[in-house]
Amino acid sequence: MKHKTPLLDQLESGPWPSFVSDLKQEAEVRAKNVNGVNYQIPVDVCEDLLGVLELSFKHKRTHWKHGGIVGVFGYGGGVIGRYCDQPEMFPGVAHFHTMRISQPAGKFYTSKYLKQLCDLWQFRGSGITNMHGSTGDIIWIGTTTPQIEEIFFELTHTLNQDLGGSGSNLRTPSDCIGAARCEYACYDTQNLCHTLTNDYQDELHRPAFPYKFKFKFDGCPNCCVASIARSDMSFIGTWKDDIRLDQKEVKAYVGGEYAPNAGAHSGRDWGKFDIQKEVVALCPTGCMRYEGGKLEINNRECTRCMHCINVMPRALRIGNDRGLSILVGAKAPILDGAQMGSLLVPFVKAEEPYGEIKEVIEAVWDWWMEEGKNRERLGELIKRQGFQKLLEVTNIKPMPQHVKEPRSNPYIFWKEDEVEGGFTGDINEFRKYHQR
Amino acid sequence: MPEVQFAGKTFVTDEDGFIDNYTNWSQDWVQFVKKEEGIDELSAEHQQVITVLREYYEKNGIAPMVRVLSKVTGFKLKHIYELFPSGPGKGACKMAGLPKPTGCV
């Protein structure tokens, strides 16, 4: 290896797959170059990356310069520019830009497709990736400015593949695997994710928003893609009718034929399955009853938390009248504190072409694009102008489901037309009855 | 910092080709930047965007939001990309001599 890396070498021991070993392996592959690839960026990029990382371990400081603005013509985002602050010591990573590649919904791949991506990235990039970024993109880590347009040309012309989003725009949407292989999926998350990604390409590639905006699609309230925490607009599947209940299968759970939670806790002896203790008593609304070998659910009181279904997936199934809830405003702490999504639309059908869902999205965008301050997330605009305003712009009637609890302070605004006589009082009229 | 020579002048830039100092900007800079930003011929509309950006920056100390740029110039975002293929940040701001956009880009 080009640089000594005593600190990083320690991370090659232990049972977990070592990123250091993997990087060294890639460095070796590039050095040997048995396939005779005409590398377009420095051959020793991986070695210099390990070198600069070792230096950061030593200094306990990053060695990347501030920011970086690179990209492809026609788009305002998709590439994260990055330059090393020790380019003489580590010329292989003097330019080390990251490219975001739009991923297929649910992240299902064929090896043929991945191999094509790898061939291109070996040739024009570092060969280092992140599968995947937290937002969902395939991430290509490390290339130089002149390669960016070349890669983009090849991606679009040969691989039929676009970039992901970055900047103050719609970021790459992502979803749980949904109905592809989950019996809890209340709608086709992949189809909705894919459709909206295609419909809003313009908003994704050319930043036009006050700040970033993310979509995420969860098939049920288990939230496997964590939409409620990590997207400005969160789409979470649910149902409106009764949980489908198979008493015969319930008996099989009680009798011990099936492991509870599909065997998720089999690593430890938790005793025999106790339906009363593990399901009925844990139901958050207490709407279940198990008597005489029969399980009953008062569905009117069910909040569809998924617990009973999660514990007995073979006996309990989601209802047949399905759709999704829309929650808005989730964000990380900066600037004014972390937020999770707040319920905006309790239930909407998720059927192609998704007209009702798009109406909500576009109404929210119209409002936020006009009223949002520079770098103000939707969640912060809702705090600043009020949830009431959000309901007005989306034309949604306020309902008890919109709050966890009613306000406790009495600072209540009224609209002038709601108050008899309006807001224009005459002090002289008042004085007629009240002396100074 | 890299230095570039153009029309007998020297400009100091960063790695991304943004000028080191707003006050070192001149029309020569515009001529120099246009080719690397994919612009063949400078039109009055290009010039208008540059003027708006510089006036806004002089007055407010920051670049305008995309929405404000559209409103003041009357150009839709789509048209701004037609004028500046890299977009208002990398394309127009660089050409106008404004500091490099920062944040989560």
Report CB contact under 8 Å: A69, B89: yes
Q: What is the pLDDT of residue A34?
A: 97
Residue B7, by phi and psi: left (phi above 0), alpha (psi -120 to 50) or beta?
Answer: left
Share of chain A above pLDDT 90, in %: 100
* Amino acid at position A82, single letter: R
C-alpha distances (whole Å) from A177 to each of A62, A102, A215, A282, B16 are 36, 16, 15, 27, 39
Could A69 and B105 be called an inter-chain contact, meaning their C-beta atoms sit closer than 8 Å?
yes
Tens-digit pLDDT profile for residues A404-423: 999 999 999 999 999 999 99
Tokens representing A268? 């430890």
CA distance A208 to chain B (A): 6
Predicted ipTM of the assembly:
0.92
> What pTM did the predictor assign?
0.95
Per-residue confidence (pLDDT) for residue A107, from 0 to 100: 98
Q: How far apart are CA A127 and CA A45, in angstroms?
A: 9
Mean pLDDT of A77-104: 97
Q: What is the mean pLDDT of each run of 10 residues along chain B (105 residues)?
A: 88 94 94 93 96 96 94 96 96 95 80
Q: What is the pLDDT of residue B1?
A: 74
CA distance A374 to A92: 36
Which ranges of A342-397 does DSSP label H, i.e. alpha helix? Answer: 355-371, 378-385, 387-394
Q: Mind listing the pLDDT tens digit for each residue in A258-267?
A: 999 999 999 9
State the CB neighbour count (10 A cutoff) for residue A191.
17
- Whether B63 contacts B101, CB under 8 Å: yes
Q: A160: buried, middle or exposed (CB in 10 Å: 19+, 13-18, 0-12)?
A: exposed
Q: How high is the pLDDT of residue B39?
A: 95
Query: What span, in angstroms and rounded, lies between the C-alpha atoms of A352 and A187?
Result: 11
Does residue A147 belong to the interface with chain B, where contact is any CB pair within 8 Å? no
Q: What band does A273 get if pLDDT is binned at 50, 70 and 90?
A: very high
Whole-number Å distance between alpha carbons of A329 and B9:
50
Q: How far is B77 from chain A (nearest CA, A)?
A: 7
* Of B1, B44, B104, B105, catalytic: B104
Q: Given this model, what pLDDT does residue A166 score?
A: 96
Spatial neighbors of A185 by CB under 8 A, at least 6 apart, are A176, A178, A179, A219, A220, A237
Residue holding tokens 């599968």?
A: A131
> Which residues of A fall within a CB distance of 8 Å from B16?
68-70, 81
Q: Which two tokens stand for residue B104?
A: 């989560």
Give the full edge-to-edge strand order of the sheet including A138-141: A79-80, A98-101, A138-141, A128-131
Residues of B in contact with A374 (CB under 8 A): 62, 65
Tell me the per-residue pLDDT of A135-174, one tens digit each, with 9 for 90 and over.
Answer: 999 999 999 999 999 999 999 999 999 999 999 999 999 9
Question: Which stretches of chain B sit within 8 Å of chain A by CB?
Answer: 15-16, 18, 38, 62, 65-67, 77-78, 81, 85-90, 94, 100-105
DSSP label of A103? P
Concerning whether B104 is annotated as a catalytic residue, the answer is yes
Kindly state the percentage of chain A with pLDDT values over 70. 100
- Mean pLDDT for all residues in chain A: 97
* Residue A366 contacts B, CB cutoff 8 Å: no
A333 touches chain B (CB under 8 A): no
Does A76 lie at the interface with B, CB-CB under 8 angstroms? yes
C-alpha A307 chain-centroid distance: 22
Report, in this order, helix, strand and coil percent for chain A, each rounded to 5. 35, 15, 50
Q: Give the model's pLDDT for residue A302.
A: 98
B15 contacts in A (CB within 8 Å)? 65, 68, 81, 83, 95
| Closest A-chain CA to B100 | A69
| B contacts of A206 (beta carbons < 8 Å) | 77-78, 81, 87
Does position A347 have pLDDT exceeding 80, yes or no?
Answer: yes
Neighbouring residues of B75: CB distance < 8 A, sequence distance ≥ 6: B45, B49, B69, B83
Q: Which tokens sit at A378?
A: 């939707």
Question: B87 to chain A, minimum CA–CA distance in Å?
Answer: 5
Asked if B77's CB is within 8 angstroms of A70's CB, the reply is: no
- On the question of pLDDT at A109 being above 80, the answer is yes
| Residue A7: cis peptide before it, omega within 30 degrees of 0 | no
- Nearest-CA distance B100 → chain A (Å): 7
Q: Which chain A residue is nearest to residue B83, measuring alpha carbons?
A: A74
Alpha carbon distance A167, A331 (integer Å) = 15
B77 vs A contacts (CB less than 8 Å): 206, 208
